[in-house]
Amino acid sequence: MIILIVIVFAIAGFAVSNRLKSKFKKYSQISLEANLSGADIAKLMLADNNIHDVQVVCVEGQLTDHYNPANKTVNLSPDVYYGRNAAAAAVASHECGHAVQHATSYAWLNLRSTLVPIQNSASKILNIVLIASLFGGFALGLPVPFIGYIVVGSYSVITLFTIVTLPVEFDASNRALAWVKNRNIVTPSEYEMSKDALKWAAMTYVVAALASITTLAYYIMVFFGNRD
């Protein structure tokens, strides 16, 4: 069953990822009438929100764009940093949306940041237990029920993280779209392209959350489903 779950969501994730890349490729070929680069848009959005302690930097890779709250940087891939198109506008403003969340102490972002080290520890513990379990239920010298508590507990943390990530990502996109529209960064048609691109980006997080919830339900059923 767990193999089936992995296969189903792997296919779903692959399909969404391909759709996302296809959308970004399509919208990257349409130049903005405003002729602003992703870096220009990011700096302008930060300034409009009175954020002056966040740097906009270019990082290697494709779709490697992210906001780093630790060093307060909006990290944009070359295609976005230098791009002057609807896709670049969508990504740059979205990442700045996270910077605005950070500056305004957005509750869901604060919660996700708090969960990051806990989630990382839970992932490491889960990997150790699952690998050891391949060599027998008592490989760690622990009774099977106790291993079940460790697995379910660890995966609950991971699942919580994926769920908390959803409002953070959707809110960043909503902030981005509202700003580019009100600031007249994009035309109506460019706005629709940006909205569509961000929708498919958000879908990757939705698939991840559904996969995590389904896997958690499976583990609960395996370890505790047959009890009287």
Domain limits, the chain: 2-31+85-224
Residue 224 has what pLDDT? Answer: 82
3-state secondary structure of 66: strand
How does pLDDT run across 118-155, given as a tens digit for each residue? 999 999 998 888 777 666 555 555 566 778 888 899 99
Is 206 exposed, middle or buried (CB count within 10 Å of its CB: 0-12, 13-18, 19+)? middle
Mean pLDDT of 151-176: 96
Q: What is the chain's mean pLDDT, rounded?
A: 91
Altogether, the residues listed in the chain come to a count of 228
How does pLDDT run across 84-126, given as a tens digit for each residue? 999 999 999 999 999 999 999 999 999 999 999 999 999 999 8
How many Å is the Cα radius of gyration of the chain?
A: 21
How does pLDDT run across 183-211, given as a tens digit for each residue? 999 999 999 999 999 999 999 999 999 99
Share of the chain above pLDDT 90, in %: 72
CA dist., res. 216 & res. 218, Å (int)? 5
CA dist., res. 34 & res. 109, Å (int)? 31
Residues annotated as catalytic (active site), given as ranges: 95
Residue 3 has what pLDDT? Answer: 75
Whether the model clears a pTM of 0.85, i.e. scores above it, the answer is yes
Residue 149 near residue 219, CB atoms below 8 Å = no
